[in-house]
Structure 1
Amino acid sequence: MNFFKIKTSWSNAEFILIKICMASIYISVGSYFHDFFQNYYWALLEIFAFSAVWFIYQWLKKMKAQKQ
């Protein structure tokens, strides 16, 4: 199974999860360099973890539906 040849059809609304996931980890990494976001480090990490798990679940569910 070649991971890079898998095709899916995603709507724009479904991409919101991966955007939230990536944005929260970018801000978390940035918090090490900027004091402004340092107070929100754990909240951003929780948002990242939640959205990453949710995105992976949605992706696997969509892949399973395409196989059937």
Structure 2
Amino acid sequence: MRKTDQSKNNYFSILMANFNNANYIESAINSVLKQTYTNWELIIVDDCSVDDSIKIIKPFLSDKRIKLIQLKV
């Protein structure tokens, strides 16, 4: 396998939908963070979750590559 070129030209976005996935969201975010390629952004779109999803997501927002969009009703 060839080594991946991480030049700034190879930037990409990852979209992650969330609705009441408190049991899985941390694992999903950590899966993205564990990748060896680092030139990305993660956009999490939350669809009015009523569980602890947002509480779990918020600490990850200190990483500037991770953004949260919370949809309103």
Pair in the same fold by TM > 0.5: no
| More helix, by proportion | 1
Higher gyration radius (CA): 1
TM-score after normalising by structure 1: 0.29
